[in-house]
Amino acid sequence: MKTASDLKIGEKAIIKDIDNSHFSSHRILEIGFTPGQEIQLVSSPLFNDPIALMIRGSIIAIRKSDARCIII
């Protein structure tokens, strides 16, 4: 199962689902990561964590452990 944490820099993907069992899943949905939306990994600085995702025209920095509940 591929998640947003597996994206490479510049790579785009469409969100398939959000994993409900993750404690951040509700917040992640609320800020607009909904199935069907396109996301793109715009930067991943040193340590590759957190990563910056583009969603709905905004850029969100998110830890990989949180991004793992975004299934693509």
Partner 1 sequence: MSSQTLNKIPLISLVGPPNSGKTTLFNYLSGKKFKTVNYPGSTVEYSISKILSKHAVNADILDSPGIISLIPSSPDEQLSVNTLYSHPKFGKPDIVAVTVDVSQLSRHLYLVKQLLESNFKVVVVLTMTDVLYKKGFDISENKLSSILNCKVVRVNGKTGKGIDSLLTVLKESLNEIEKDSAASLIKADKHHKTKLLESYSEIEKIEKEVLFETDQKSTNGKIDIQKINESIVVLNSAPKFLKADETSLKIDKFILHKFWGLIIFFLIMALTFTSIFWLAAPLMDLVNDGFSFLSENAFTLLGEGLIADLIANGLISGLGSVLVFLPQILILFLILGLLEDSGYLARGAMLIDKPLSKIGLNGKSFVPLLSGFACAIPAMMATRTITNKRERFLTIFIIPLMSCSARLPVYALLIAFLIPQETPWIGGLLLAAIYVFSITSSIIIAAIVNKFSNRLVKEKDNTSFILELPAYRMPKPMRVIQETIKNGKQYVVKAGPVILFLSLLIWILTTFPNYDPVVPVSPDVSPEQTEILKSNERMSTSYAAYLGKFIEPVMAPLGLDWRVGVSLIATFAAREVFVSSMALIFKITEEGDDMQNSILNSMREAKIGDSDQKLFTTATTAGLIVFFVFALQCLSTVAIAKKETGSWRIPVLQVVVFTALAYVFAFVTVNGLRAFGVN
Does residue 71 touch partner 1 according to CB under 8 A?
no
> Could you say whether residue 68 binds partner 1 (CB under 8 A)?
no
Q: What is the pattern of x (binds partner 1, CB under 8 A) and - over residues 12-51?
A: --x---x-x--xx-xxxxxxx-xxxxx---xxxxxx-xx-
51 phi, psi to nearest 5 deg: -110, 160
Angle at 26 between CA 61 and CA 65, to 5 degrees: 45
**Measuring CA to CA, how many Å separate 57 from each of 21, 26, 31?**
27, 20, 12
Binding region for partner 1 (CB under 8 A) = 14, 18, 20, 23-24, 26-32, 34-38, 42-47, 49-50, 52, 54-63, 65-66
